[in-house]
Structure formats: C-alpha cells, structure tokens
Amino acid sequence: MNAIKINNLSKSYKGKFAVKNINMEIKAGELFALLGMNGAGKTTTIKMLSCLTPPTSGDAYLLGDSILNNPQKVKEKINVSPQETAVARNLSVKENLELIARIYGSDKKTAKIKAEEMIMIFNLTEVAKAKTKTLSGGFQRRLSIAMSLISNPKILFLDEPTLGLDVIARRELWSVIKKLKTEMTIVLTTHYLEEVEALADRVGIMAKGELKAAGTVSELNLLAQVDKFEDAFIKLATDMEVNI
C-alpha cells in the first residue's frame, strides 16, 4: 500500500522551478530519504507534502487524501520536524510536548502520559522542567523531533533531523529513528550519505528541483555502475538523466 503518491508535483517562484514535475510513490512503513545538495528542492518538496506551501502544479495524495483538496485531513495524519529547531522558548520541555499532543487532539491526561513517554525515549528527563531557551542545541533538537512524534503521525517528515548534532547525539537519534521505522512512514531529507545508508529503505536523489533517481542504495549503485554510494550520488546528482 502506498502512503504517499506524488503526481507531477512542481513549485516555481517567479518562473524559476524549485521543484519540477516530481512523480513518486512511497510505501507505507517505508523510510524514504530525499538526498540532494543545497537548493536541490528537498525542503520545498517536504513543505508541499506537509501542506505548508501550495504546489504550482500537480498534486500529492497522503494516505488517500489530496494535499490540494483536503489539507486539513492530511494535517491530522502527519507531523513535521522542520529544518530549524522549532520549540516554544519560554515553555519547559514537558510543556512543549504536552502542547503539541493537545493541539493534535489528546486530552490533558493523555497528553501528560505521551509527554512522559517522549521524555523517556529521547533521554530528556534531566531537562524535563527546564525552559527550552536554556537548553543546549542538542537538547533543543531532540525535543523538536520528539514534538513531531508525540502525535503518533502516520507519516513523519524529518527535514535534516541531525543537522548540527554531534556524532554521539546523531547516533542516538539514528537509533530512535530505526525503532520508529516499522511504526510509521518516514520521509527524511539529509546531506549525510552515511545517514542514508544506515537508515533508509529507499532513496530519492534530487538535483536542480528534479528527482534524478530513486531506489535502494544497492539499486542506485547498480544504476550508476559504481561500488560506493557516494560515487553513485555524485554521478546521479550531477551527470545522468535517469527515468525511474
């Protein structure tokens, strides 16, 4: 079953395409990584899929609901962890988590329980009562991602989730994402090739707003006729036009 079906999705600003005619399907329960250099169109694609930016043309269906015709239904099923840390600065870690749980429809008691769960999963116990503006960048990032999970989304968009994290924090987050893989469909954008190799079931390579290729890491290596994924990425993102 497809969780996401994208039909000819495009976004242009003043006639210049940020995303051009993307067609793609992502299966339910899959972790799909969107890989590309800066300005490749990864974040714009995620913004369109999460109803933050309307497409210039085309449409996408998330679990059967159109982002154009039924964005409210789509929003109830998804959650997003934006590229920049997105937390309420004068609220504590626990209050931030409860806030998001309640916005997504949990009652007060359930929101508290869910917040406690997230605090445990993301090792935030020591800072649970601290105002988020006093936290280190690493803690803020972890909280920001925990906030995107507390609503138990069916589809989760993680826009460069490990950006700015140190190696240990990155590995901790990888382990959390691995645990989540079976429970929801995850679309992740990243610059880090090793992150893709460690986490992704399938990978889409974007360049200049276009989806150049999609497949598993080994399929992409085969397609580019190279052994290393880094070489495949460079070749596919810069040289070849591939029909998927």
Q: Applying CB under 8 A, which residues contact other proteins?
A: 47, 50-54, 72, 75-76, 78-91, 95, 99-100, 102-105, 131, 144, 147-148, 151, 157
Q: 44 or 190, CB closer to other proteins?
A: 44
Q: 103 or 244, CB closer to other proteins?
A: 103
Smallest gap from Cβ 50 to other proteins, in A, equals 5
Give residues with Cβ within 8 angstroms of 208, minimum separation 6.
Answer: 20, 39, 40, 41
Smallest gap from Cβ 49 to other proteins, in A, equals 10
Q: 75 or 202, CB closer to other proteins?
A: 75
Smallest gap from Cβ 115 to other proteins, in A, equals 13
Question: For residue 195, how many other CB atoms are within 10 A of its CB?
Answer: 20
β 31-36/202-207 pair status: parallel
Q: 66 or 242, CB closer to other proteins?
A: 66
End-to-end CA distance of the chain: 19
What burial letters (b/e) apply to 3-24, b meaning 16+ CB within 10 Å?
A: bbbbbebbbeeeeebbbbebeb
Q: 79 or 190, CB closer to other proteins?
A: 79
Query: What six digits make up the tokens of 1?
Result: 């079953």
CA–CA distance, 117 with 119 (Å, rounded to integer): 5
Smallest gap from Cβ 83 to other proteins, in A, equals 7
Smallest gap from Cβ 233 to other proteins, in A, equals 27
